[in-house]
Structure 1
Amino acid sequence: MTSAPAEPLGTRIRRLRADRGWTQRELAEPGYDRGFLAKVETGSRPPSEEMLAYLAERLGLTVDELRFGRPPGVADKLRASLDEGYRDLEQGRVASATDQFASVAKQAAGYHLDDVECYARFCQAEVKWQLFDVEGAQRALEHASELAEAAPPWLRAMIVHRWSGCRYLAGDAGAAIARVEAELALRPADPDAELCLLSALIHPLMEMGGLHRARRAAEDGRRLARAASRPDFVARFHRQASQVWQATGRADRAEQDLTEACRLFASVGFDRDAARCRWARGYLLRRLGRLEEARAELTSARDQLAAIGSEEGVAGATVELAEVRLRQGAPAEAASLITEVWPLLTRDVESLGEATGLRGQIAQSRGDLETATDLLREAVDIQTRASLHGAAVSTSLRLGDVLRQRGHLDEAIEAYRRGLDSAAGTDT
């Protein structure tokens, strides 16, 4: 496909007429006379909306196909091209996907296909998301939002979902949740759109201590998933909901959700998201104390995400793997793993807080309690500023233990009190 032809409307009408071997009289009559059509073709008289509709019908086109020079069926072809490019992106062919998205965005703009152009802009934001350019992804999503009114409900919801993710990674969990809840308050009629928005709520709510609200979102999403038509949206929901079941002691249900999510992502060729499911399963196994299984799953997930070029996934899976290795008595390897991804962590406040706390634990395991204190304090500060209440509670408790071990009892009490303050921001 080529870009939309830059030709005046009258010239286009003359070309289409000539392509069919018709005279001006054959096209114009009986609705209009030949002389009036001649003026339209030369550009001396613009056609009325009624005449444009008449000519389009005579030529076997829609009004917009005639007005903007769209080849019949071009919108469907461009959407299919974006779907193909998105699979390329999920499978690590980033350069190919990037070129595809740019080409479609240009063509869609030329053909005045706002819904397709919105989809192309969203796909361009997904490239930045995969490359862990959080600020760039947010800007690209806001660019896509300019055309969101023309987009289908599922796409509008996915733009909000990703925008919320960007704000969360930047440390603004409150804004991430507020945007999604505002969109849900509009009561989207499309089950895919509503499921997408509920999925976006679960992780930020969990990390801010809103377990009760997260569970309600998971239960609502479970009902919606039966009516949803997009397997990737259903898979994304299962992956997010697994966190709720882990937190409420339903590890069996969490593992079932992750298995189903992985199956659905694989069925549509979404390798990146399938690998993220393995990362999530590794986290679950670590929580269950099955450390060797967790190590194998996280190593595999990290390698797959690295091969695909998903830097955000690599950073998160590596930090989680470092915690497993620390628990297995390999602090030097844990420290090396964190150092390996440290440059990436400044873009993800949650992983940065977790990794800083892990560095504190590594220092503690080596007997360097002063360094451990400094690092754990820094981790608590990061987590508190980002409203990550659950993480701040556990880090504050560890900090208090280290301070008590050093004999700094007043400071230890203050650390425990800070943990209690963070706990007050959670629900059960």
Structure 2
Amino acid sequence: MREKTGPDSVDETLAAASRTIDLNVLGDRIRNLRIAAGMTQGKLAGSDASVAYISRIEAGKRRPDLALLATLASRLGATVEELLVGISRDRKAELRLELDYADLALRSGNAPDAFQKASDVLDAAAGTSDDGLVREAVLIKARALEALGHLDDAIIALEQLVDSDPIASQWVQAAIALTRCYRESGDLSRATEAGERCLARLRDLALDGTDEGIQLAVTLAGAYNERGDRRHAIRICRVAADKAELLDSPKAKAAAYWNASIFESEQGRTDAAIPLAKQALALLESDGDNRHLARLHSQLGMFLLASDTPDPAEAKRSLERAAVELEWSAASVIERAYNSVALARSMLLLGDIAEAEAMLNGIAENATRAPLLASDCALLRGQISAVQGNTDAARASYLDSVQILASVGADRAAAQMWVDLGTLLDELGESDAANSAFRSAVAATGLAISSRPVGSVRT
């Protein structure tokens, strides 16, 4: 018969945990600690319990009282709290501090360190009842994977988070990252599906008007825009902009201005997009999130290149600033590569062909990770070949870009690429090939190409 030993008084939280803990979980923890300590059941039982009783505890068939748990915990080099909750308060505080370090590393551009720290916390927190700690570690790990360019692995982790309770603080951040990762991977259908699914859950909870809710809507709009559904993207952004005005949040307003600038650019009104991007930049200067600021500087540089009167020198300055900020932020290698492509394009316009080509070659490996990035690289390679007078190579690169875009359903972008190719061929005097490219542009938009002469009368 065992005797009761241990403390005279026990924390009420632990007392409650001892009455409700899943006996199989408790048994597993005791058995795992005993095996790790190289201890037999007899040595663990001592004179306080029989070996058979310890065996039944480990099998999840007995609920020991707190006094016996205290004795067992002492022999195992643990605490009652660790047996019941899975981790002590002090250890939990240490792990939260480690996560703070991981988050800081990620925001500072050190994704490998962030990944390792978050993974260590996950290993240490395995089996604990602190779901918040685990979710936070999974989110940081997933964002680190995204930053490293491992989009598929990031998506798997983020899908698990998104399937959890949407009230959790990490949920909306995971939803935004998931939509973005699908978009960056070129899976535009899943990007829009995931974004719509998550935004609907936020609406059910009346959380779609928060900072994070507006950011999710804006990210979703970007995916629709890439897919070619510009009208729906604009509708989403208009609703988000209205909510941002009501919220009076600099971050939310910046997101609205940012996307308004992108859509102006997509409509061919780049000169109107530039001041909107600058307004967004002014709002984000006080935000403290280097990633948002860097992406906006990068976007502004791209607008300056696409303007009716391109300013490659100013664009280069903005893109170089973005490159530095991206290095010191949680930006992914893919985002950095997009900025490098734009920077190479500014060099090309400034006449630094060799520098442009060298920079493009330097990001070739990262281009294989994201179809939309690969398409942009192929386009730039075609532009470089055209400047060098290599028409066949230019045509081949343009066609590579078109095929990549068509394969991921980016029909609007593919149509634009056909137009660019047609313009290049027309400039080279290849009118038949140019007309063929223009017809392909029309086909990519989903319109039928009529054989009826323009102006003919219907009968």
- Residue 386 of structure 1 corresponds to 408
Using the TM superposition, give the Cα deviation of residue 121 of structure 1 relative to its aligned residue in structure 2, in angstroms: 0.9
Using the TM superposition, give the Cα deviation of residue 114 of structure 1 relative to its aligned residue in structure 2, in angstroms: 2.0
Question: In structure 1, how many angstroms separate the alpha carbons of the residues matched to 2:328 and 2:215?
Answer: 27
Name the stretch that deviates more: 102-111 or 288-297.
Answer: 102-111
Cα 1:66/1:422, change in 2 over 3 Å: same
Cα 1:234/1:125, change in 2 over 3 Å: farther
Q: Unpaired runs of 5+ in structure 1?
A: 1-9, 25-37, 49-62
Which letter maps to 2:187? D
Using the TM superposition, give the Cα deviation of residue 319 of structure 1 relative to its aligned residue in structure 2, in angstroms: 0.3
Match of 1:286 among 290, 305, 326: 305
Match of 1:195 among 214, 235, 259: 214
Which letter maps to 1:203? G
Which letter maps to 2:102? G
1:363 equivalent to 2:385? Answer yes
- Residue 261 of structure 1 corresponds to 284
User: Residue 379 of structure 1: SS of its match in structure 2?
Assistant: helix
1:130 equivalent to 2:147? Answer yes
Using the TM superposition, give the Cα deviation of residue 301 of structure 1 relative to its aligned residue in structure 2, in angstroms: 1.6
Question: In structure 2, how many angstroms separate the alpha carbons of the residues matched to 1:378 and 1:232?
Answer: 38
Which letter maps to 2:283? E
* CA deviation profile, 1:262-311 (whole Å, cap 9, x unmatched): 431x2xxx334432232122223323323211101111222343466842
Confirm or deny: 8 A CA contact 2:86 2:125 kept in the other structure.
no
Cα 1:378/1:94, change in 2 over 3 Å: closer
1:295 equivalent to 2:295? Answer no
1:140-219 equivalences in 2 (<5 Å): 140-145=157-162, 148-150=163-165, 152-186=167-201, 187-189=203-205, 190=207, 191-219=210-238
Cα 1:314/1:69, change in 2 over 3 Å: closer
Confirm or deny: 8 A CA contact 1:393 1:420 kept in the other structure.
yes
- Residue 68 of structure 1 corresponds to 85
Cα 1:372/1:139, change in 2 over 3 Å: same
1:82 equivalent to 2:99? Answer yes
Cα 1:332/1:391, change in 2 over 3 Å: farther
* CA deviation profile, 1:322-373 (whole Å, cap 9, x unmatched): 2222223333322222111111101121121111011111111122111111
- Residue 122 of structure 2 corresponds to 105
Name the stretch that deviates more: 127-136 or 272-281.
Answer: 272-281
Name the stretch that deviates more: 68-77 or 135-144.
Answer: 68-77
- Residue 34 of structure 2 corresponds to none
Question: In structure 2, how many angstroms separate the alpha carbons of the residues matched to 1:296 and 1:79?
Answer: 39
Q: Which has the higher contact order (CA 8 A, sep 6+)?
A: 1
User: Residue 138 of structure 2: SS of its match in structure 1?
Assistant: helix
- Residue 344 of structure 2 corresponds to 322
Which letter maps to 2:295? R
Cα 1:299/1:174, change in 2 over 3 Å: same
Cα 1:112/1:204, change in 2 over 3 Å: same
Cα 1:202/1:185, change in 2 over 3 Å: same
The CA RMSD over aligned residues, in Å, is: 3.8
Name the stretch that deviates more: 226-235 or 75-84.
Answer: 226-235
Name the stretch that deviates more: 196-205 or 219-228.
Answer: 219-228
Match of 1:339 among 332, 340, 361: 361
Question: In structure 2, how many angstroms separate the alpha carbons of the residues matched to 1:139 and 1:320?
Answer: 30
Cα 1:65/1:237, change in 2 over 3 Å: farther
Cα 1:247/1:19, change in 2 over 3 Å: same
Question: In structure 1, how many angstroms separate the alpha carbons of the residues matched to 2:403 and 2:180?
Answer: 21
Question: In structure 1, how many angstroms separate the alpha carbons of the residues matched to 2:237 and 2:325?
Answer: 28
Cα 1:386/1:364, change in 2 over 3 Å: same
- Residue 60 of structure 1 corresponds to none
Identity rate of aligned residues, in percent?
24
Which letter maps to 1:184? L
- Residue 4 of structure 1 corresponds to none
- Residue 225 of structure 1 corresponds to 244
Question: In structure 1, how many angstroms separate the alpha carbons of the residues matched to 2:129 and 2:150?
Answer: 29
1:305 equivalent to 2:322? Answer no
TM-score (norm 1): 0.76
Confirm or deny: 8 A CA contact 1:173 1:387 kept in the other structure.
yes
* CA deviation profile, 1:203-232 (whole Å, cap 9, x unmatched): 222222222222222222223336769987
Cα 1:184/1:314, change in 2 over 3 Å: closer
Cα 1:74/1:247, change in 2 over 3 Å: farther
Which letter maps to 2:319? L
Using the TM superposition, give the Cα deviation of residue 151 of structure 1 relative to its aligned residue in structure 2, in angstroms: 5.6
Cα 1:135/1:15, change in 2 over 3 Å: farther
Q: Unpaired runs of 5+ in structure 2?
A: 16-47, 66-79, 448-459
Match of 1:375 among 397, 409, 424: 397
Question: In structure 1, how many angstroms separate the alpha carbons of the residues matched to 2:444 and 2:423?
Answer: 17
Using the TM superposition, give the Cα deviation of residue 424 of structure 1 relative to its aligned residue in structure 2, in angstroms: 4.3
Which letter maps to 1:324? S
Cα 1:406/1:177, change in 2 over 3 Å: same
* CA deviation profile, 1:234-262 (whole Å, cap 9, x unmatched): 76665445423544644322321133234
User: Residue 110 of structure 1: SS of its match in structure 2?
Assistant: coil
Name the stretch that deviates more: 295-304 or 216-225.
Answer: 216-225
- Residue 34 of structure 1 corresponds to none
User: Residue 398 of structure 2: SS of its match in structure 1?
Assistant: helix
1:107-122 equivalences in 2 (<5 Å): 107-122=124-139
Question: In structure 2, how many angstroms separate the alpha carbons of the residues matched to 1:193 and 1:334?
Answer: 37
Name the stretch that deviates more: 161-170 or 374-383.
Answer: 161-170
Using the TM superposition, give the Cα deviation of residue 318 of structure 1 relative to its aligned residue in structure 2, in angstroms: 0.6
Question: In structure 2, how many angstroms separate the alpha carbons of the residues matched to 1:389 and 1:336?
Answer: 30
Which letter maps to 2:277? A
Question: In structure 1, how many angstroms separate the alpha carbons of the residues matched to 2:306 and 2:429?
Answer: 31
List structure 1 segments (4+ residues) > 6 angstroms apart after TM superposition.
63-66, 73-77, 227-234
